[in-house]
Structure 1
Amino acid sequence: MAILFKLDDSLNGRLQRLAARQQRSTQEIMREAIRHYVDCEEARESFRREALASWEEYRDTGQHLTGDELREWLRLWGTHEETEIPTCHS
């Protein structure tokens, strides 16, 4: 599907110079940039949904880990002392 949009002269010039330096087409660079942007925005939305769901669960149950408990657990990752995630509590 072809989508047309206008770039201002300054951005268009920068894009043209970048494409020439990298020996790539401007379309290839724009596709990569748009893909990267969409990937980042989808990840941001996913993180936000997960955070909101966690907040709702906490409000409903009161179950949580303290920051200190979580930091201690993460400190042990990748060591011979690594453990399962601590159990949440009220």
Structure 2
Amino acid sequence: MNATSIRPVAIKIDEDTRARIKRLAAARQRSSHWLMLEAIRQYVEREEKREAFRQDGMRAWNEYQATGLHVTLEEADAWLAQLEAGKDVEPPECHI
């Protein structure tokens, strides 16, 4: 990240939260700013992954609705059991 892409942002937090952040920052030997920035980065990364997972699920659901292709719970369970047993097996074929 270069200096020209960094912009200050103000947020309003209650005094209790501010004091908690200061205590944690002191315990970690970091600044309050660093701690808040790290928290925001981690939150955004986690939420991006969650959204990508949700989008993958929606795509899979839409594909299933369009094609009807699927595997049964029993087929998936048997395949996963083989993988768990250390066997290198292909996933079951999708069918209607």
- Structure 1 length as normaliser, TM-score? 0.90
Number of positions where the alignment pairs a residue of Structure 1 with one of Structure 2: 90
2:9 maps to which residue? 3
Supply the distance in 1 between the matched residues of 2:91 and 2:43 (Cα, whole angstroms).
Answer: 33
1:52 aligns with 2:92: no
Any unmatched runs of 5+ in structure 2? Answer: 1-6
Shift of 1:82: 2.4
What is the TM-score normalised by the length of structure 2? Answer: 0.85
| Cα contact 1:73–1:82 (8 A) shared by 2 | no
Unaligned ranges ≥5, structure 1 = none
The match for 2:72 is 66
Aligned-pair Cα RMSD in Å: 1.3
CA-to-aligned-CA distance 1:57-86 (integer Å, 9 cap, x gap) = 111111001122112212222544220111
Relative distance call for 1:23 and 1:85 in structure 2 (3 A) is same
- Taking the aligned partners of 2:73 and 2:37, their CA distance within structure 1 comes to 41
